[in-house]
Amino acid sequence: MADDFIKFFAEKVKSVCASTADCRPPTSFRTVKSSMTEFMVCSEDDVRRTIMASPTKSCMLDPIPTFLLNETLDPLLPYVTAMVSSLREGCLPASQKHAIITLLLKKPSLDGAEMKNFRPVSNLTFIS
């Protein structure tokens, strides 16, 4: 069944690409008044505040549960801050480039036997 879903969503992406391949790019763009040329430098205090203010949701890919990260944050904070700071160089550790994909029915009333009635939802690691 997993292979069937992979094929279904791959074909769906291919179909959308094919149906828009001959389309001209948009001719009008909204003017953006601000731009981001680089990520701001994050201090350990910034990272600590963000982690502590975040919900304690976890993913099966997390090396430790979020509640445990919160409880042991002080010794881990320099490493987490370095990981966040690596985004300034355009790098993301390989461990943060994975997600658990769950398929959810778009509406409870839809037929679960039809693949088109599902949408994929990605569960990323807490740090991601």
Confidence (pTM):
0.66
Q: How far is CA 41 from CA 34, 44, 45, 86, 89, in A?
A: 18, 10, 11, 10, 11
Tokens found for residue 21 = 């391949």
In the chain, what are the domain boundaries? 1-9+56-128
The tens digit of pLDDT for each residue in 71-106 reads: 999 999 999 999 888 888 888 888 888 999 999 999
Average pLDDT, the chain: 89
Count of beta carbons in the 10 Å neighbourhood of residue 42: 17
